[in-house]
Amino acid sequence: MKKIAVVVLAMALLMMLAVVPVMAKPPGEQKVPVKVTFTITSSTTVDRWLTGGNISHRVQSQVWSVDLIIDDSSTPIKGTAEVTRNTDYRYTKPGGVDQIINDDYVFSFPTAGGGFEGHSHSMITDWSAGPPSAYIIDVHVLLHGTGEFEGQTLNAWQDGPGTTPLWEGYLLKP
């Protein structure tokens, strides 16, 4: 009886291992590389709080001009993004500031018939006004598709010296 139980348990474990890779990736799922570049076309400070201890908080309303490049296409999809930015500033050294940024986005690509909505979290450290200005940025973006992009997820990031507004990542298609 013990031998039968061991054989059945071993077969069950083998079956589970054979099934797990199939369960990990839904059929038809595609990861397509993307790049997002943008230029801020307007930025308005909606609210600002100053606290003691070298910390402040700002809420900004921004509009961006956005280029979305899917799968290394030579022609970007052009659009706009409306952004609500919440930033905590920590003044850590003379002439410098660290920032924690939470953005809410609504991207619109009229020629593609849809867009993306969602959030990002960023940290900027070692910022210095310069000249030239310099900083280290760590951005993580997760957006869900709307309209023609419904059911798709845009996952992007930027890590390293903050020189060019460029997110790289992938578009997860069903």
pLDDT digits (tens, 9 = 90+) for 56-94: 999 999 999 999 999 989 999 999 999 999 999 998 777
CA dist 65 and 62 (Å) reads 10
What ranges do the domains of the chain cover?
Answer: 27-173
Which pLDDT band holds residue 96 (cuts at 50, 70, 90)? confident
What is the pTM assigned to this prediction?
Answer: 0.78
Report phi then psi at 123, rounded to 5: -130, 130
CA dist 4 and 146 (Å) reads 54
CB 144 within 8 A of CB 113: no
Alpha-carbon Rg for the chain in angstroms: 22
Question: Tell me, what's the pLDDT at 1?
Answer: 61
- Which position has the higher pLDDT, 137 or 94? 137
State whether residue 13 is helix, strand or coil.
helix
CATH of domain 27-173: 2.40.350.10
Question: Tell me, what's the pLDDT at 9?
Answer: 54
